[in-house]
């Protein structure tokens, strides 16, 4: 068994790498399916809580550190590898249909595979060198895929925004890497054994996660990333890229044993989850609503990191991956069939037109809300119960419950506006494609069953607490309250005449801090630059150094060197003296 696990893992990674050079869409799809099935085999080892490390001989030998390729195969990596492969397999098959008319479809699919490889490197990395390679690779691939339609200025801006915001967070990871290099070890096992409670690497890891997992203050890039093709959004938001930050904190959780850092994680996660949920209620673009729900769920995972419950954060990361990929696939199907219409006000009545897609969208939305016995319920409900029974400040708990209500509110609003009532679309809707129904069916099945299957694993290591019935039902009550309130919000959108948005609405709609770095600071810099270039340089410097400076310098010199001062006595004196000198010279 010990030899089988690393052999299977290496086989999976090598096979996927070789599939980059194979341009057959059908073959690669089948290969991803086969790799997923093979990756299920090592899961038996998890029953014994085994951890296997596979290292090569040192590739670079230094006085203080030997750099080698090293894989760690523990519960985190062996659980998440099949999930990543399963979701990528489904999205890859969907992308081959969605991007069928794109002239560079093979290049696009190749990029998806490289994206998957980069995430697998992060999942299995056993040292900071490998992790950093995978970390930067997912950033670069997200830049290329978000800006895929580079003829659109918004896509280019979104791609640049993603890479810049991630680079701001990556400074923290580089700082942590430098600290580990100088004081500890780059190898994760050695680092976790030493477990030095220094605040510098903790702050670095927190900054890296804030950038990659789009926490509050570095969150605007995630909704902007919706400018990319829908398969990219599905892969980006479900099992790759954005979950890498939470995965990093889960992997290195023993380092984070500091009350200050855990409190910051708790407050940051709670703020992110409620802010993103409030922002989603103000948006009308179906992809941006789903994107902001991702930010909200990532905030919930960060809250669990702050409560020192990394296993629950990992559990929610798994269940969230399935229903989020399904939501994006359903949104992509609707957008594709409605001729790229993304405004939910311009949809409606799609329940009869696209019955299968409507069913999938409803199940995924209910799972996101945390409805009982769907996958989201088993993680979200457990998270809120854990918060209820923990010694934390009531502010974090309160705004998490508010975020739960808002999640149900915007999810219900999205489902009702797109699927019910009468059709409001301007375009002739295409028929529902039967040849692309398999990926959503797979994801729907797992969305329904994943929570029940995870319940049987060792991920939920918290004891079953005894609590009053009302506290037990708090999460469900918050969800039902959001569903009831969504009807009022729909009435506001559908029937009331359009009014000027209120300040609070604009605050959430513009993602708060989005307007400060992207609008206010930019405009002030442009105005200041304009003043410097036109007024300071053009009107002052060039004038003083140019015409005025030249005249001010020449006029005194002219006055000194010339006798022409408009005085008749001077002229007569000069004339007389000159005449006398001339006569004297002739006489001699």
Q: DSSP string covering 284-298, please?
A: -BHHHHHHHHHHHHH
Please state the separation of Cα 32 from the chain's center in Å: 25
Dihedral sign for Cα atoms in the order 358, 360, 363, 364 = negative
CA distance 381 to 373: 10
Higher pLDDT, 522 or 155: 155
Q: Cβ(252)–Cβ(321) under 8 Å? A: no
Q: How many residues does the chain have?
A: 588
Judged by phi (left if over 0) then psi (alpha if -120 to 50, else beta), residue 467 lies in beta
Query: Other C-beta atoms within 10 Å of 181: how many?
Result: 15
CA distance 432 to 125: 42
Provide the mean pLDDT of the chain.
Answer: 85
Please state the separation of Cα 294 from the chain's center in Å: 9
Residue 291 vs residues 61, 213, 273, 481, 552: alpha-carbon distances, Å: 44, 12, 12, 23, 65
Domain residue ranges in the chain: 1-257, 261-487
Question: Residue-wise over 322-340: b if at least 16 C-beta within 10 A, else e?
Answer: bbbbbbbbbbbbbbbbbee
Judged by phi (left if over 0) then psi (alpha if -120 to 50, else beta), residue 462 lies in beta
Q: Tell me the pLDDT tens digit for each residue of 253-263.
A: 888 888 899 99
pLDDT category at 49 given cuts 50, 70, 90 is: low
Q: Cβ(95)–Cβ(109) under 8 Å? A: yes
Share of the chain above pLDDT 70, in %: 89
DSSP state of 66: E
- The confidence score (pLDDT) of residue 11 equals 80
Closest CA to 289 of 217, 216, 237: 237
- The confidence score (pLDDT) of residue 545 equals 75
> Does residue 358 register a pLDDT over 70?
yes
Please state the separation of Cα 29 from the chain's center in Å: 26
Torsion of CA 112, 459, 313, 297, to 10 degrees: 70
DSSP state of 150: T
Q: Tell me the pLDDT tens digit for each residue of 473-519.
A: 888 999 999 999 998 878 776 665 566 666 677 777 666 656 666 77
CA distance 114 to 476: 40
CA distance 417 to 231: 23
Query: Other C-beta atoms within 10 Å of 29: how many?
Result: 19
For the chain, first and last CA: distance in Å?
129
- The confidence score (pLDDT) of residue 80 equals 92
Average pLDDT score over residue span 35-50: 77
pLDDT category at 12 given cuts 50, 70, 90 is: confident
> Does residue 197 register a pLDDT over 80?
no
CA distance 361 to 327: 6
CA distance 51 to 57: 20
- The confidence score (pLDDT) of residue 364 equals 96
Question: SS3 helix, strand, coil % of the chain, rounded to 5?
Answer: 75, 5, 25
CA distance 79 to 453: 12
Q: Give the residue carrying structure tokens 């069939």.
A: 337
Residue 223 vs residues 13, 366, 521: alpha-carbon distances, Å: 31, 22, 20
Structure tokens at 146: 């978000």
- The confidence score (pLDDT) of residue 578 equals 87
Q: Are strands 66-67 and 52-55 parallel, antiparallel or unpaired?
A: unpaired
Tell me the pTM.
0.86
Q: Cβ(95)–Cβ(108) under 8 Å? A: yes
pLDDT category at 441 given cuts 50, 70, 90 is: very high
Q: Tell me the pLDDT tens digit for each residue of 75-95.
A: 889 889 999 999 999 999 999
pLDDT category at 9 given cuts 50, 70, 90 is: confident
């Amino acid at each position: 068994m010990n030899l089988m696990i690393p052999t299977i893992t290496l086989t999976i990674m090598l096979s996927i790498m070789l599939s980059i050079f194979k341009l057959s869409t059908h073959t690669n799809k089948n290969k991803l399916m086969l790799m997923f099935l093979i990756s299920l085999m090592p899961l038996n080892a998890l029953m014994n809580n085994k951890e296997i490390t596979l290292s090569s001989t040192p590739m670079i030998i230094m006085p203080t550190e030997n750099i080698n390729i090293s894989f760690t195969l523990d519960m985190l990596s062996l659980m998440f590898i099949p999930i990543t492969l399963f979701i990528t397999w489904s999205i890859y098959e969907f992308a081959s249909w969605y991007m069928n008319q794109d002239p560079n479809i093979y290049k696009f699919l190749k990029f998806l595979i490289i994206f998957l490889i980069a995430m697998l490197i992060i999942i299995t990395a056993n040292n900071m060198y490998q992790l950093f390679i995978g970390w930067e690779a997912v950033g670069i691939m997200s830049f290329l895929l978000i800006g895929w339609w580079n003829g659109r200025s918004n896509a280019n801006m979104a791609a640049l925004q993603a890479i810049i915001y991630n680079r701001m967070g990556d400074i923290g990871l580089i700082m942590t890497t430098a600290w580990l290099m100088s004081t500890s070890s780059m190898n994760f096992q050695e680092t976790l054994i030493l477990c030095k409670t220094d605040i510098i690497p903790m702050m670095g890891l927190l900054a890296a996660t804030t950038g990659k997992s789009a926490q509050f203050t570095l969150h605007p890039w995630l909704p902007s990333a919706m400018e990319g093709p829908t398969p990219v959004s599905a892969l980006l938001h479900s099992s790759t890229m954005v979950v890498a930050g939470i995965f990093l904190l889960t992997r290195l959780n023993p380092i984070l044993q500091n009350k200050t850092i855990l409190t910051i994680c708790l407050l940051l996660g709670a703020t992110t989850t409620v802010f993103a949920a409030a922002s989603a209620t103000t948006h009308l673009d179906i992809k941006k609503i789903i994107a902001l729900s991702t930010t909200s769920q990532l905030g919930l995972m960060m809250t669990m990191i702050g409560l020192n419950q990394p296993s629950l954060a990992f559990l929610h990361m798994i269940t969230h991956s399935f229903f989020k990929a399904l939501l994006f696939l359903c949104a992509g199907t609707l957008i594709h069939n409605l001729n790229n219409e993304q405004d939910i006000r311009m949809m409606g009545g799609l329940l009869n037109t696209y019955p299968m897609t409507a069913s999938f969208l409803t199940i995924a939305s209910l799972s996101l809300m945390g409805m009982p016995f769907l996958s989201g319920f088993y993680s979200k409900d457990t998270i809120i119960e854990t918060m209820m029974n923990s010694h934390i400040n009531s502010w974090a708990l309160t705004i998490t419950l508010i975020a739960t209500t808002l999640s149900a509110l915007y999810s219900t609003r999205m489902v009702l506006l797109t699927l019910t009532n009468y059709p409001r679309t301007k375009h002739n809707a295409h028929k529902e494609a039967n040849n692309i129904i398999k990926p959503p069916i797979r994801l729907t099945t797992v969305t329904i069953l994943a929570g029940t299957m995870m319940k049987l694993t060792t991920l939920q290591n918290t004891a079953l607490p005894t609590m009053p019935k009302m506290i037990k039902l708090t999460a469900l009550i918050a969800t039902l309250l959001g569903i009831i309130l969504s009807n009022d919000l729909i009435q506001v959108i559908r029937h009331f005449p359009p009014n000027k948005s209120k300040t609070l609405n604009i605050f959430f709609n513009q993602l708060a801090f989005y307007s400060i770095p992207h609008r206010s600071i930019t405009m002030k810099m442009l105005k200041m630059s304009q003043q410097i270039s036109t007024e300071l340089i053009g009107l002052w410097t060039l004038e003083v150094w140019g015409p005025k400076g030249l005249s001010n310098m020449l006029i005194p010199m002219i006055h000194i060197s010339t006798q022409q001062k408009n005085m008749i006595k001077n002229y007569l004196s000069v004339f007389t003296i000159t005449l006398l000198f001339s006569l004297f010279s002739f006489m001699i």
